[in-house]
Amino acid sequence: MRFLHTHVENFKLLEDIKLDFSTDPAQPLTVVRAENGSGKTSLLYALLWAFYGERGLPEEVVAGGLRLGPAHLPAGKAVQIRVMVEFAHTDENEIETRYRLVRNVRETAFVGDKVERDGESVRLLRITSSGEDDLKSAEALVGKLIPLRLRSIFFTNGDAVQTYISGRVSSQQRQSQVHIAIKTLLGLDSLRTAVEDIEAAYKRLRSDLARSGGADTSHLEAELERMDGDLEKLRGEEAALTEAVTNMTAQRTKWDKELSGLRGIGDIDHLNARIASATSEQAGLQESRSRVIVRMRELVKSEECSWAFLSSHLENGLSVLSDLADRNVIPGTSLRVLDDRLELGVCICGEDLTPGSGHAQHVIALRDEQKKVSESQERLTELFHGGKLAAASAEAREKDGTDFFRRRADLQAEFTHVRDSLSTKLAELEQLKERRAAIDEERVRDLTDKLDGVAGKMANAQTEIGRLQSKISDLVVRHAEQEKALGEAEKATKLNHDLSVKRDIAKQLHDMAAGTLRTLEGDYVHRVSDRMNALFMEIVGATPEFEAGVFRRVHIDPDFNIRVDTHDGRTLDTDFELNGASQRALTLAFIWALMEVSGTTAPRIIDTPLGMVAGGVKTRMVDAITSPGSDEAPDFQVVLLLTRSEIRDVEGLLDQRAGIVRTLSNSKDYPEDLTYPWHADHPLSRMCSCNHRQSCRICARVYDAQHGISFRDEEATV
Amino acid sequence: MTSTRRIVEVAGQQAQLLDEPTPGFRAQAVTTLLDVIRLQGEGVGPQARRDRTLKLVADLGTKVLLGGGE
């Protein structure tokens, strides 16, 4: 099959994109140059959708709420999406037929990502010199020409390129994908079905023959037939269970991945415990802060505070008071003497101080006058002694480091520490709560339950498979004995000669067909393996004889695993021990080897294949996957969807190998990246005829000079 | 090389391991195998396909009974 032309309308950003594919055997490469977000992947999906409908699109894209039409359309507005692909197919008799495949659907998007599609139709038209024939069963014919299960061979996304080698899928899935790809592309499925059909014919003839021989042979044959039936049933059960285990493994991998993703954010129980602990710590810190504030208030109200701020005035006052004390002004003593004399009734001078006497009156008047002076003296005395004590306390506090300023500094430091700790704790708490909010708690529990459930089911299924295999093994032995017994009985009986010959011929035919199948399976796998090895070594620049190198060989083992052997006798883990470039090289080498060995001429369309590849590996990879056909490798097409960075350093190879190069750009990139505005009222992608060395008013980008791209003023309008 | 051609080549080698009850039997066996494979492309159901396979196999037997001719 070769792609001739495609026309994409209203698929994502691709409103009206037409692309011719190179069909020149000498230049088998078509390049679509496009930067990120310009529509490369949309173009890949548009082609997948045209051939297979939604079934062809990646599961995660469909599961994520698929919208095929342009995103800018307002809710409720319907759009007609249409993808047309013209292609040519050459049959076994070397007759080429041209076809036009057209898939249409009407899509209406509503608020909240809800999308409705109706009126999907797919038409396959055979183009002849006299017109077009509308073929019935378009989907079935497409499925035969380019099988859905091989879509990852024909349509490859650079990021998903490791499907056949990477642990992103389970080992069983990988083996199954490699096996399916080999069987389907090499036509072994049809041979296997033929072997089964011939076996059925043989059994039928054997049964007819036995019946012609009378009761004995008939009875033995009936028993043999029953055993055949039992064997078929048991093998069917075993195959179904094995498939179920494969599906469960795939499902478990998917759930595991999702759960790991959720747990990457944090385990919910662990997070809850941390939130509880942080909340308690936050409350403790808040209490500490309150206590520090109370202590600060008390300090401000304290004598130390006054002393700290009024010490110079207090010291002056104390000095005055000391002076008064020195001059015996304080404390005053005459008032007590006068009171004593009045009480005794006799003055110091001997005069009578009997109450009512004139002397007594005089002394009382003197005492009252003295009393007024004494109150002041008393107050001064108290101040003097209090002041002395306060000064002594202040001095003592200063000595032992508990003065106001020191205490204030300590409290301030304590407050700052508590305040900062609280702030940190609050931030931590908020972060923990955000992480908890990001976890769909219910989904985590649901996934955990499902994983527990599937693990149990898988264990049961494995046990059952073991039991079935044991029964099959027993039955095979009994079947052989029964066949022998039937052979003996036949010898002793007169059989229908014609039937006997036909049965023997059927047996011979079956043996030949089964032998062919066995040989081809082994032979083809061997050839694919050898070719893959040669291509891989060529791309990564490895020499098997160079002992100091890493790679010794890559190969497909009997279980359909793709293996990478090293010089030191190890087998590398393709996920962790192969770099991204080597992973891509290995997968592409497998796909190319498979296509070459099977003689398949279907196009290979690869989105961003060189994303992680640079230097010599990049050049050799492009060289290997774009080399024109030869006797070993028949004509083929390859379509590479590349960014400017990927094109860098391989421009020369593209000059030689690319029959067609086009550029896809998106209006949203102006003015950051695109040099010229398109004046479009919504984001859309456009194709221009610029090749990898050119730019124009549609595709010119501000950094083109870095890539040595020259401007041409030919695509004047956009 | 297409897969059909490869099947013919390998089936031819496998046919050499068979008895040759009549002249041309081995080549006829290979042709019959290809005819059986082709039945899958004729869009008939599995039972009808098996019935037609039985007829193809029986016809090969008949050829042997007739000494290799038609």
b/e map of A346-384 (b: 16 or more CB within 10 Å)?
A: ebeeeeebeeeeebbeebeeebeebeeebeebeebbebb
Question: In the predicted model, what is the mean pLDDT of residues A252-259?
Answer: 80
For residue A139, list chain B residues with Cβ-Cβ distance below 8 A: none
CA A405 to chain centre: 59
**CB contact, 8 Å: A1 with chain B?**
no
As given in the structure block, the two tokens for residue A537 are 């070594």
In contact, A29 and A22? CB cutoff 8 Å: yes
Contact A201 B61 (CB under 8 A): no
List, run by run, the mean pLDDT of 10-residue segments along chain B (70 residues): 76 91 92 93 87 95 79
| ipTM attached to this prediction | 0.96
Q: Is A166 helix (H, G, I), strand (E, B) or coil?
A: coil
**CB contact, 8 Å: A598 with chain B?**
yes
In contact, A621 and A613? CB cutoff 8 Å: yes
Instruction: Give the per-residue pLDDT at A505.
Output: 94
pLDDT for residue A623 is more than 50:
yes
Instruction: Give the per-residue pLDDT at B1.
Output: 43
Contact B61 A512 (CB under 8 A): no
- Of the two residues A293 and A542, the one the predictor is more confident about is A293
Helix (H) and strand (E) counts in chain A: 18, 16
Nearest neighbour of B36 by CB, restricted to A187, A197, A599: A197
Of A67-81, A168-182, A403-417, A497-511, give the lowest mean pLDDT range: A168-182
State how beta strands A78-90 and A2-11 pair.
Answer: antiparallel
Instruction: Give the per-residue pLDDT at A272.
Output: 82
Instruction: Give the per-residue pLDDT at A88.
Output: 92
| H-assigned helices in A401-496 | 404-438, 441-491
Question: In the predicted model, what is the mean pLDDT of residues A542-549?
Answer: 70
**CB contact, 8 Å: A519 with chain B?**
yes
Instruction: Give the per-residue pLDDT at B57.
Output: 95
Instruction: Give the per-residue pLDDT at A32.
Output: 96
- Predicted confidence (pLDDT) per residue in A473-496, tens digit: 999 999 999 989 888 888 888 778
Question: How far apart are the C-alpha atoms of A52 and A145, rounded to whole Å?
Answer: 12
**E strand or H helix at A120:** strand A115-128
Interface of B with A in 1-40 (CB under 8 A): 1-4, 6-7, 10-11, 13-15, 17-19, 21, 29-30, 32-33, 36-37, 39-40
- Predicted confidence (pLDDT) per residue in A147-195, tens digit: 887 787 788 766 655 566 655 556 666 667 777 787 777 778 889 899 9
- Give the bridge partners for A566, in sequence order: A551
- Give the bridge partners for A250, in sequence order: none
Which residue type occupies A191?
Answer: L
**CB contact, 8 Å: A92 with chain B?**
yes
Interface test with B, best of A186, A232, A512, A517 (most B CBs within 10 A): A512
Question: In the predicted model, what is the mean pLDDT of residues A531-559?
Answer: 84
Directed axis angle between helix A188-212 and helix A215-265, to 10°? 150
b/e map of A450-480 (b: 16 or more CB within 10 Å)?
A: ebeebeeebeebeeebeebeeebeebeeebe
* Nearest Cα residue in chain A from B61: A502
Query: Helix, strand, coil: what percent of chain A each, to 5?
Result: 60, 15, 25
Interface of A with B in 261-320 (CB under 8 A): none
Q: State the DSSP code for B14.
A: H
Q: State the DSSP code for A74.
A: P
Contact A201 B54 (CB under 8 A): yes
| Strand ranges for A276-422 from DSSP E | none
Of A35-49, A194-208, A359-373, give the lowest mean pLDDT range: A359-373
Instruction: Give the per-residue pLDDT at B37.
Output: 92
**CB contact, 8 Å: A528 with chain B?**
no
**E strand or H helix at A605:** strand A604-607
Among A8-22, A239-253, B10-24, the range of highest mean pLDDT = A8-22
Assign A685 a pLDDT band (cuts: 50, 70, 90).
very high
- Of the two residues A30 and A189, the one the predictor is more confident about is A30
- How distant, in Å, are the alpha carbons of A190, A532, A556, A598, A601 from that of A527? 20, 8, 10, 10, 18
- Predicted confidence (pLDDT) per residue in A52-97, tens digit: 998 888 776 676 667 899 988 888 889 999 999 999 988 767 788 9
Instruction: Give the per-residue pLDDT at A718.
Output: 46
Degrees, nearest 5: CA angle A76-A82-A88: 170
- Give the bridge partners for A79, in sequence order: A107
Instruction: Give the per-residue pLDDT at A632.
Output: 56
Q: Kindly report the nearest CA distance between residue A217 and chain B, in angstroms.
A: 21
Q: What is the pTM of this model?
A: 0.62
Which distant-in-sequence residues (6+ apart) come within 8 Å of A701 by Cβ?
A35, A644, A669, A673, A674, A675, A695
Which distant-in-sequence residues (6+ apart) come within 8 Å of A640 by Cβ?
A29, A30, A31, A32, A606, A609, A622, A626
pLDDT for residue A699 is more than 90:
yes
* Nearest Cα residue in chain B from A510: B33
As given in the structure block, the two tokens for residue A287 are 């209490």
Among A78-82, A259-263, A329-333, the range of highest mean pLDDT = A78-82
For residue A508, list chain B residues with Cβ-Cβ distance below 8 A: 18-19, 29
Question: How far apart are the C-alpha atoms of A149 and A155, rounded to whole Å?
Answer: 11
Q: How far apart are the first and last CA of chain B?
A: 32
For residue B47, list chain A residues with Cβ-Cβ distance below 8 A: none
Question: How far apart are the C-alpha atoms of A218 and A212, rounded to whole Å?
Answer: 8
Contact B7 A201 (CB under 8 A): no
Question: How far apart are the C-alpha atoms of B13 and A104, rounded to whole Å?
Answer: 49
Average pLDDT, chain A: 85
Of A348-362, A580-594, A596-610, give the lowest mean pLDDT range: A596-610
Question: How far apart are the C-alpha atoms of A78 and A73, rounded to whole Å?
Answer: 8
Question: In the predicted model, what is the mean pLDDT of residues A602-609?
Answer: 84
Question: How far apart are the C-alpha atoms of A574 and A7, rounded to whole Å?
Answer: 39
Q: How many CB atoms lie within 10 A of CB A556?
A: 24
